[in-house]
Amino acid sequence: AQRVTQPEKLLSVFKGAPVELKCNYSYSGSPELFWYVQYSRQRLQLLLRHISRESIKGFTADLNKGETSFHLKKPFAQEEDSAMYYCALKSGGGATNKLIFGTGTLLAVQP
Amino acid sequence: SQTIHQWPATLVQPVGSPLSLECTVEGTSNPNLYWYRQAAGRGLQLLFYSVGIGQISSEVPQNLSASRPQDRQFILSSKKLLLSDSGFYLCGGAKNIQYFGAGTRLSVL
């Protein structure tokens, strides 16, 4: 079955500390994975996707097919990083672009 | 750029009443459209998606239905709401990457 697991509901760190938001997936085939973020009072928006291999706002995520993981990392957390983070897996063939979401992790960066 | 408009932001409805949530898309044509629900303590679950006018695919059996009367309009409906229909409903649209509306928080009492 296709599934995305985010084991942590809440991750609290101090400003300047490293951050790692965990995401594991279950998918038969070549996965396409995303991280979405929702800041307070804003709508859900794309943060990054693995095929772009980019760093956005200091965040990176590497797809590890052996461990079926796509953890989101940042070396030094900032207070403005506090938000809800969702890992998502593209599901369905063709152009359907369906997404399977994890349950989300609330990142709280303390001053 | 593509913008998703969704309303209302919050809604309180009695059990057994009908529901109609509307989602419209601006800035693109012929997008895929999606309705998601987030129940308490759960992730976003895909309810319906549409690849074109009049084309609706249901992902999970439920008390809700969806319609796409126009290219950039996607409607989520129910004839009689249940308590279990409470949750946060999110409309998404995509040509390549998915964009989302602001969501509607529905409380069925």
pLDDT at B1 over 80: no
Contacts of A30 (CB under 8 A, 6+ apart): none
Q: Specify the pLDDT at position B60.
A: 82
The span from the CA of B109 to the CA of B21, in Å, is 17
Q: Does domain B3-108 have CATH number 1.10.3470.10?
A: no
Question: Domain coordinates of chain B in residue numbers?
Answer: 3-108
Q: How far is CA B11 from the centre of its chain?
A: 13
Between chains, do B46 and A49 touch, taking CB under 8 Å as contact?
A: no
Judging contacts by C-beta atoms under 8 Å, the chain A residues touching residue B10 are none
- In the structure, what pLDDT confidence band is assigned to residue A13 with cuts at 50, 70 and 90? very high
β-bridge mates for residue A46, sequence order: A36
pLDDT at A95 over 70: no
Q: State both tokens at B87.
A: 């949750």
Q: State both tokens at A10.
A: 């809440």
- CB atoms near residue B17 (< 10 Å): 12
β-bridge mates for residue B92, sequence order: B34, B100
**Residue of B10, B44, B48 to mutate when probing chain A, most A C-beta within 10 A:** B44
Chain A residues with a Cβ under 8 Å from any Cβ in chain B: 4, 6, 43-46, 49, 86, 95-104
Q: Specify the pLDDT at position A93.
A: 65
Between chains, do B41 and A96 touch, taking CB under 8 Å as contact?
A: no
B13 CA: distance to closest CA in chain A (Å):
23
Q: What is the mean pLDDT of chain A?
A: 92
Domains of chain A as residue ranges with CATH: 3-110 (2.60.40.10)
Q: Specify the pLDDT at position B56.
A: 95
